[in-house]
Structure 1
Amino acid sequence: MPPLIKRFLDHLGLGAGFARDSHCPSFRTASAWGGPELISNEFFLDVHNIGWRLDRARFDRMLAAEAENRGAIPLAAKVGSIRFDGDRWTIDCGEAGTRTARCVVDATGRAALLSRLGGLKPINCDRLVAATVFFEESESPGLPGADAALIESFRDGWWYTAATPGGRRVAVLMTDADLARRLGAPRLDAWMECLGKTRHVRTIIGAGRPLAPPRLWPAGSRYLEGNVHPGLIAVGDAVSSFDPLSSQGIIKALRSSIFASYAIADWLLRSDDRGFARYRALMKREFASYRETLRDYYRQEQRWPDSPFWHRRHNGSDFRNQSAALKDLRETVRSHVRPPS
């Protein structure tokens, strides 16, 4: 997480709890983007100075515990349907029974389950997937970029690697779904062959031992389209999904949830539903601004203009108009990608 996270954690009263969990500090990022050399971005230039490498399971447990401490009641359930009746939502929770609520918050991530049940449609802007492998960390403290989150571009996409708490390292091949199939990215041997062609990532991985075959995840930009009744509001990756290149996933989730809470308070306390429209407009503007920034950043890499991956991003290809690519994405997801939970 970049240093900006501290502002949101403090706003939510979570700063002290986060500090007690002893996540690993991070002081810079490094990238070979637009050229072969590794360039460092030092966090000491940021007002908050320190980023963080999370123990994600511990972080999620802290958030859940804090929510319960402030009144949230956990319910183990699988939602089958939701419908709007009068001024309330009726939620079918299967074996857990039926619940009613004036407001429903969709925090189901990329699955956007409740939003889809409520009639909204996720729109994919590209076909990016992440092929992820965890390694036993090898000894590489003196190597450039070993202590940083590192990004390295290549002809068919880009790589990401970072040390994780617990003495491991993650390495991720980011490419489009149709290209992942061509590269054989779901197979460890083909994935390792691609890794061997990198300059910086393979050096940092060194003699690290892969702990499992690659796991593929959807990673593209996506937003929701359509209108719903007041009281159904999506946050985090459910309302929109950002390219991991942005490093904004957790910050965006917290920020959107804070703004959503204002709209919910207006609805519950004053029966004022205008906050929902303001929130949707804000999320739409945020996504448009993000997409423009993302395009500018991808255009900084001009070494492979004939590559389908980079050509699509330099020329603003619209994923929805490419039926063959959509079929490739669906087949890749069906065959290899772990579905969002």
Structure 2
Amino acid sequence: MPAPQRLYKFFSDARTSFFDSPQFLFRHPEQFNDFFDCAPQIQGVYRPDYIKSFLMGSIILRAKIPPLSPMHNDSNEFYNTFDAELESKCIDLFKNSQDLAPQIITFIDTPKGQKEFFEIDKYKHLPRIINKINSQLKNQFLAIFCLTENATNKVMWAQYANDNKGFVLEINTENNLFHEIKDKKNSLGCLKKVAYKPISKARFVTDYITPNGDFRYNALLRDAIFTKQTIWSFEKEWRIAFITEGLLPSNNVTRCDAGLLISVPSSIIKGVYLGTRASDEMRDSAIKFCTKHDTPLFQMVPTPDQEFTAEPVIL
């Protein structure tokens, strides 16, 4: 999906320095306000149809996790243990049956059958494998920049602009910054819309395993970055992300505790919106910036129906 020509970025009042030195902060996921942000949405290790296939005697697909994965050392042990438990459960339930196949097909689709088989997956093994995946993602050298389609949302003004004391920038997404980061090493580096999904629509670990048994870590990484729970859908978010490992500081890139500061041309800013509680100092800085670069300036004002609207400021 092509990105809108204009997107918006919320800033707190602590970032007033932007008007003197325009920089975008690309954050590591651990800096985000949502604890579960960039944690993969996974509802189980195996899909139910895999469990059926296994119990019917199909060839067991065992994942070969890449060496850098924290799951690598015990992946075979995990799959062997899990499959053995399924087999043991099956034999125990139908030990008096001459032909297991019809019994399994009928039983596994019942609520009792799902509880018997899937709780081994969901409640015993899933937490352990999720923790390992989350650990690897947290140690990944990631930098993410978040934008939104909506500059007037009152929840976002309260949450991301320090109770309406900050400001919002209207940004031209046609700038090369949002299109030239992507390369062979940074396959994530293009502006992409965040998808909002309930956990019931989440994937299974086996969805990230190829037919030849390879673990698709990059696919899982993309889904983790660009998928959030539906409770956040009001944000209408777009993101650009890239892997920073091996990236050297330059005139345009500076490392900081929160991530990376990337200098941007003032021409990328197509509008500035001041919060209803913006200080006089911030207002003066914004007026100087907008006057110098011929950028429209707006003041957010409350409406009778308790929403915000943007009114132009005459420079």
TM-score category of the 2 structures, normalised to the smaller one: under 0.3
TM score, norm. by length of structure 1: 0.20
Higher relative contact order (CA 8 A, sep 6+): 2
